[in-house]
């Protein structure tokens, strides 16, 4: 395996503005190991596709690590585990005021490519995932997210069988459980999940 060395070839004490190479290297290591584990667990993947994925890993890992170090997210960055941390709420809920807040944001401020939180209240394990907006249809008051499909401007998912998925305005409070991987079961809080590399990259595009 020769790819791992590629990640660290360009490391210098000024890899990221104001940050030494130590933190950058730790983040790269954690992210790289995580992505390799995820690739190893994929079934029925062709050798050619796996090779392409492996070739692109160093590029995306370095971008993710640099973005995490430069992010102004109001959460604690755990360099060793390449994750963010903040206190977790007792329950995952969508308040009655969220619909109007989202509607105002979509009508006035939302842009294509914006990172948004998707609240998943439909499964035994509730969580919040990051997605991105790729279409805004103001005429029909709906918005399309890359992974989760169509939502109306009040945040309700319009896809079949996804009535417990909710799009919320991307503020610091709503993004916290997505950044930190918070999860809940019927008993309450459980151990956080690990963000995918895609989610980490989406997180680093958020400007708080």
| Block mean pLDDT (10 aa), the chain, length 208 | 40 46 93 91 83 90 97 97 97 95 96 98 93 97 98 97 95 98 96 96 97
Its pTM stands at 0.86
The pLDDT of residue 11 is: 42
The pLDDT of residue 50 is: 84
For 110-123, b where at least 16 C-beta lie within 10 A, e where not — what string? beeebbbbbbbeee
Domain-by-domain residue ranges, the chain? 3-70, 85-203
Residues near 59 by Cβ (< 8 Å), separated by ≥ 6? Answer: none
């Amino acid at each position: 395996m020769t790819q791992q060395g590629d990640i660290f070839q360009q490391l210098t004490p000024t890899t990221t503005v104001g940050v030494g190479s130590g933190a950058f290297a730790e983040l790269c290591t954690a992210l790289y190991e995580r992505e390799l584990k995820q690739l190893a667990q994929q079934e029925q993947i062709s050798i050619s596709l796996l090779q392409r994925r492996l070739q692109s890993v160093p590029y995306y890992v370095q971008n993710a690590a640099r973005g995490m170090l430069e992010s102004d997210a109001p959460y604690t960055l755990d360099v060793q585990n390449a994750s963010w941390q903040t206190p977790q709420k007792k329950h995952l809920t969508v308040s009655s005021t969220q619909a109007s807040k989202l509607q105002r944001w979509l009508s006035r401020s939302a842009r294509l490519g914006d990172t948004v939180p998707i609240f998943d209240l439909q499964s035994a394990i509730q969580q919040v995932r990051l997605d991105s907006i790729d279409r805004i249809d103001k005429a029909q008051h709906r918005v399309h997210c890359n992974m989760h499909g169509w939502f109306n401007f009040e945040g309700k998912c319009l896809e079949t069988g996804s009535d417990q998925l909710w799009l919320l305005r991307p503020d610091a409070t709503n993004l916290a459980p997505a950044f930190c991987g918070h999860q809940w079961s019927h008993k309450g809080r459980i151990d956080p999940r690990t963000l995918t590399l895609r989610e980490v990259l989406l997180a680093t595009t958020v400007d708080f």
